[in-house]
Amino acid sequence: MSDSKLTGKTAVVTGGGSGIGRAICMRFAAEGASVHILELNPESADAVAQEIRDAGGLAAIHACDVRNQQEVLSVIRAIKQIDILVNNAGIAHVGSVEDTTEADFDRLCQVNIKGAYNILHAVVPKMKEQGAGVILNMASIAALVGLTDRFAYATSKGAIAAMTLSIARDYLHHGIRCNSISPARVHTPFVDGFIAKNYPGREAEMFDMLSKSQPIGRMAKPEEVAALALYLCSDEAGFITGNDYPIDGGFVKLNS
């Protein structure tokens, strides 16, 4: 549709095969973007791409491990134009500093920090050459408040917040905008799997407890995060850069 917000735009979404990434891919495609899904799991990416195509949208998939810089560079080189980058790929970890092994910490840093760097390192020069581009990094409220047992995860998301400011500052005069979103708990398959694994037989009870940890009384829907992502990546947000947007049901300001 001609009045769609992303008509003619090409978007790259990392970790677009499930959860928030999937919702962003679906929403961007529905708004006219040609979506390139970078995923470690090509089967899940293919399922999302097929949904987009079935709905009349445009999607391509690229099997890619964001930890591998050469792999990332090869994939990004093959994409002719990139108007939007959503740096969404990431993994979680539960544990305090005492419970976090060196292997745990390295794994979080490799995916959440180095992976984001690798994508930015590959995409920014292309956007700079184009003279325009929008970058959206997926941070977390874990970088803003002290969440219990999220030491490594919070550390990695704090790095994402710093990257966002650095990119926004360095490329302000190259037509590149960079912002981040900091979700609180979002109801994704990961959450359901986490509850089933750690609280067998108590799934409904734990789901209710986790939902009520947000002052608004429920978890976010992936589609709600995607709606905010759409706004920040559209021309309507052309005056916005270097900012983080909590989408948290009041968690940061009201959960006291």
Of 153, 171, 231, 245, which residue is the catalytic one?
153
Classify strands 133-138 and 84-87 as parallel, antiparallel or unpaired.
parallel
Structure tokens at 143: 């970088």
pLDDT at 119: 98
pLDDT at 190: 81
Q: Which domains does the chain have, with CATH numbers?
A: 10-184+222-254 (3.40.50.720), 188-219 (no CATH)
Classify strands 176-183 and 133-138 as parallel, antiparallel or unpaired.
parallel
pTM, to two decimals: 0.94
Phi/psi of residue 58, nearest 5 degrees: -115, 130
pLDDT at 191: 86
Report the candidate in 94, 90, 105 with the shortest Cα–Cα distance to residue 181.
Answer: 90
pLDDT at 256: 59
CB 156 within 8 A of CB 109: yes
153 carries an active-site annotation: yes
Per run of 10 residues, the mean pLDDT along the chain (length 256 residues) is: 84 97 98 98 96 98 97 97 97 93 97 98 98 98 91 97 98 98 92 86 92 92 98 98 96 82
Structure tokens at 49: 């791409």
Exposed (0-12), middle (13-18) or buried (19+): which is 232, by Cβ within 10 Å? Answer: buried
Strand order in the sheet with 10-14: 58-63, 34-39, 10-14, 84-87, 133-138, 176-183, 244-247
pLDDT at 1: 42
